Amino acid sequence: MYLNSIFTDPERAQKLFEIAKNSLQPMLEGAILNTIPLTIVSFICGIILAVLTALARISHVKVLQSIARVYVSAIRGTPLLVQLFIIFYGLPNLGVTLDPFISAVIGFSLSVGAYASEIIRAAILSIPKGQWEAGYSIGMSYTQALRRIILPQAAKVSIPPLSNTFISLVKDTSLASLVLVTEMFRRAQEIASTNYEFLLVYSEAALLYWVICFFLSVLQGFMERRLDRYGA
């Protein structure tokens, strides 16, 4: 019925075209001003947290291992949306009120940190023990061997799965609309609430997300091919 009305009613088709055209700029602004910066900042903070967590998990200090294990378990075992709500709507009960963007960054960074830490930990553990022994044989300490030998190799191994995490984060930022961040999906919600063309506007938003993720997937493939040539 919906598609039939478009093909049989030129005026409605023209109206929908105008809505789609007018919706494009606000949603692109939301993507450029909030979605993309939110993704980049959260990913960088999350990766730093992930490296620290992964190192804590493989350390010989039991306290650090326990703290890292509880953190990863708590974040992976609870919905991201619930975590965002606790940070933005729950913390004010404790007297801590955060800006919507900052709240979203904290929530997404904690999520990326937990999931990416397992990727990085697995990458570190995949490096043969002989690499550690080679470092020790030339007088390197544990820290020096880790920094100069193990982490560079682990970084190469972990780039493909971390790229997937980055792409997933782009889509997850749509949840930030529920904590009042005016990213791309929130702009779509605002537009749809005024013209009631929910199917059209949300489909347009989905298309924009797909275009962004497709571009990132192409970039990921290019990076992987470069790494393969470098490794060869």
pLDDT value at position 232?
A: 45
Reported as a single tens digit per residue, the pLDDT across 166-176 is 999 999 999 99
First and final C-alpha spacing in the chain = 57
191 Cα distance to chain centroid: 25
Summarised one tens digit per residue, pLDDT across range 41-61 is 999 999 999 999 999 999 889
Residue 212 and residue 170 in contact, taking contact as beta carbons nearer than 8 Å: yes
The pLDDT of residue 229 is 60
3-state secondary structure the chain: CHHHHHHHCHHHHHHHHHHHHHHHHHHHHHHHHHHHHHHHHHHHHHHHHHHHHHHHHHCCCHHHHHHHHHHHHHHHCCCHHHHHHHHHHHHHHHCCCCCHHHHHHHHHHHHHHHHHHHHHHHHHHHCCHHHHHHHHHCCCCHHHHHHHHHHHHHHHHHHHHHHHHHHHHHHHHHHHHHHCCCCHHHHHHHHHHHHCCHHHHHHHHHHHHHHHHHHHHHHHHHHHHHHHHHHC
pLDDT of the residue at 72: 96
Residue 222: per-residue pLDDT: 83
pLDDT score of 230:
47
Residue 59, both tokens: 């350390």
Give me the residues of the chain with pLDDT under 50, please: 230, 232
Closest CA to 165 of 199, 118, 231, 133: 118
Q: What pLDDT, on a 0 to 100 scale, did the predictor assign at position 193?
A: 92
Name 134's Cβ contacts closer than 8 Å, sequence gap at least 6.
Answer: 149
CATH, domain range 2-231: 1.10.3720.10
| HEC per residue, 122-163 | HHHHHCCHHHHHHHHHCCCCHHHHHHHHHHHHHHHHHHHHHH
Determine the pLDDT at residue 204: 95
Q: Where are the domains of the chain?
A: 2-231
